Chains A and B, each alone.
Chain A
Amino acid sequence: MKVKNIISVKNLTKRYADKTAVDSISFEVRAGEIFGILGPNGAGKTTTMEMMEALRPIDGGEVIIDGINVAKRPSKIKHIIGIQLQSSAFYDKATLSEQLKMFAAFYGRNINPMELLNEVELTEQARKYPEKLSGGQKQRFSIATALVNNPKVLFLDEPTTGLDPQARRHLWDLISKIKARGITVILTSHYMEEAELLCDRLAIMDEGKIIATGSPRKLVKDLLARGFKKDQVVEQANLEDVFIDLTGKELRE
Chain B
Amino acid sequence: MKATLTFTWIQIKRMFRDKMAMFFTIVFPLIFLFVFGTIFSNSSNAQFDIAIINNAGNDFTTEFIKSFEKKDSLKIVDVSSLDDAKEKMGRGEIDSIIEVPAGFGEPNDQQIPHGELAVYYDEAEPQAGQTLASVMSGVLDEINIGVTKIEPPFKVVQKSTTTTGVSQFDYTFAGLLAFSMMTMSIFGLSNQLPSEKKTGALRRIKATPFRPRQIIIGMTLSYLVLTIVSLSVMIVVGTLAFDFDMHGNWLILAAFAILGALVMSGFGMAVAGWARNENQSAPLTQIIAFPMMFLSGTFFPRFIMPEWLQSITNWIPLTPVSDGVRMIVTENAGIVELLPQIGLLGAWGLVIYLIAFRVFRWE
| Interface CB pairs A-B, < 8 A, 16 | A53-B207, A85-B203, A88-B200, A88-B207, A89-B200, A89-B204, A91-B196, A94-B13, A101-B6, A105-B2, A105-B6, A105-B7, A106-B7, A106-B208, A106-B210, A145-B204
A98 on the B face (CB < 8 A): yes
How far is the CB of A95 from the nearest CB of chain B, in Å? 9
Q: How far is the CA of A77 from the CA of B206 in the complex (A)?
A: 13
**Chain A residue nearest in CB terms to B199:** A89
How far is the CB of A60 from the nearest CB of chain B, in Å? 23
**Chain B residue nearest in CB terms to A142:** B204
B residues within 8 A CB of A99?
10
How far is the CB of A142 from the nearest CB of chain B, in Å? 8
Q: A94-B13, A94-B14 are in contact. Are A106 and B200 (CB under 8 A)?
A: no
B209 on the A face (CB < 8 A): yes
Q: How far is the CA of A147 from the CA of B209 in the complex (A)?
A: 14
Taken residue by residue from 1 to 38, chain B's Cβ proximity to chain A (1 for < 8 Å, 0 otherwise) reads as 01100110010011001100000000000000000000
Interface size counted on chain B using CB atoms at 8 A: 21
Q: A90-B201, A91-B201 are in contact. Are A83 and B6 (CB under 8 A)?
A: no
**Chain A residue nearest in CB terms to B17:** A93
Taken residue by residue from 46 to 70, chain A's Cβ proximity to chain B (1 for < 8 Å, 0 otherwise) reads as 0000000101000000000000000
The answer, among B7, B196, B207, for a CB contact under 8 Å with A83, is B207
Q: How far is the CA of A31 from the CA of B2 in the complex (A)?
A: 33
Instruction: Please state if A107 and B209 are interface contacts (CB–CB under 8 Å).
Output: yes
Instruction: Please state if B13 and A98 are interface contacts (CB–CB under 8 Å).
Output: yes
B residues within 8 A CB of A89?
199-201, 203-204
Which B34-93 residues sit within 8 Å CB-CB of chain A? Answer: none
A residues within 8 A CB of B205?
106
Q: A85-B204, A88-B203, A91-B201 are in contact. Are A106 and B209 (CB under 8 A)?
A: yes
How far is the CB of A28 from the nearest CB of chain B, in Å? 23
Instruction: Please state if A92 and B208 are interface contacts (CB–CB under 8 Å).
Output: no
**Chain A residue nearest in CB terms to B16:** A93
B residues within 8 A CB of A102?
6-7, 10
Q: How far is the CA of A92 from the CA of B200 in the complex (A)?
A: 11
Taken residue by residue from 73 to 87, chain A's Cβ proximity to chain B (1 for < 8 Å, 0 otherwise) reads as 001001100010101
A residues within 8 A CB of B7?
102, 105-106
A residues within 8 A CB of B14?
91-94
Instruction: Please state if A55 and B206 are interface contacts (CB–CB under 8 Å).
Output: yes
How far is the CB of A128 from the nearest CB of chain B, in Å? 13
How far is the CB of A101 from the nearest CB of chain B, in Å? 7
A162 on the B face (CB < 8 A): no
A108 on the B face (CB < 8 A): yes
B residues within 8 A CB of A98?
10, 13
How far is the CB of A157 from the nearest CB of chain B, in Å? 11
* B17, B205, B206, B207, most chain A CB atoms within 10 A: B207
A residues within 8 A CB of B209?
75, 78-79, 106-108
Instruction: Please state if A78 and B208 are interface contacts (CB–CB under 8 Å).
Output: yes
**Chain B residue nearest in CB terms to A75:** B209
B residues within 8 A CB of A75?
209
The answer, among A55, A91, A107, for a CB contact under 8 Å with B10, is A91
**Chain A residue nearest in CB terms to B205:** A106
A residues within 8 A CB of B17?
93
B residues within 8 A CB of A53?
207
B residues within 8 A CB of A83?
207
A residues within 8 A CB of B10?
91, 94, 98-99, 102
Q: How far is the CA of A87 from the CA of B17 in the complex (A)?
A: 25
**Chain A residue nearest in CB terms to B203:** A88
Q: How far is the CA of A108 from the CA of B209 in the complex (A)?
A: 9
Q: How far is the CA of A105 from the CA of B6 in the complex (A)?
A: 7
A103 on the B face (CB < 8 A): yes
The answer, among A55, A85, A108, for a CB contact under 8 Å with B3, is A108
How far is the CB of A143 from the nearest CB of chain B, in Å? 12
How far is the CB of A94 from the nearest CB of chain B, in Å? 5
How far is the CB of B200 from the nearest CB of chain A, in Å? 4
How far is the CB of B206 from the nearest CB of chain A, in Å? 7
**Chain A residue nearest in CB terms to B196:** A91
Instruction: Please state if A87 and B200 are interface contacts (CB–CB under 8 Å).
Output: yes
**Chain A residue nearest in CB terms to B3:** A105
How far is the CB of B111 from the nearest CB of chain A, in Å? 86
Instruction: Please state if B18 and A93 are interface contacts (CB–CB under 8 Å).
Output: yes
Q: How far is the CA of A47 from the CA of B54 in the complex (A)?
A: 92
A residues within 8 A CB of B210?
106
Instruction: Please state if A90 and B204 are interface contacts (CB–CB under 8 Å).
Output: yes
A residues within 8 A CB of B13?
93-94, 98
How far is the CB of B216 from the nearest CB of chain A, in Å? 15
Taken residue by residue from 89 to 133, chain A's Cβ proximity to chain B (1 for < 8 Å, 0 otherwise) reads as 111111000110111011110000000000000000000000000
A residues within 8 A CB of B203?
85, 87-89
How far is the CB of B275 from the nearest CB of chain A, in Å? 18
A residues within 8 A CB of B199?
89
How far is the CB of A57 from the nearest CB of chain B, in Å? 13
* A93, A98, A149, most chain B CB atoms within 10 A: A93
A residues within 8 A CB of B204?
85, 88-90, 145
Q: How far is the CA of A75 from the CA of B207 in the complex (A)?
A: 10
**Chain B residue nearest in CB terms to A90:** B201
How far is the CB of A32 from the nearest CB of chain B, in Å? 22
**Chain A residue nearest in CB terms to B14:** A93
**Chain B residue nearest in CB terms to A82:** B207
How far is the CB of A55 from the nearest CB of chain B, in Å? 6
Q: How far is the CA of A32 from the CA of B287 in the complex (A)?
A: 55
Q: How far is the CA of A253 from the CA of B200 in the complex (A)?
A: 23
A residues within 8 A CB of B200?
85, 87-89
Q: How far is the CA of A91 from the CA of B6 in the complex (A)?
A: 14
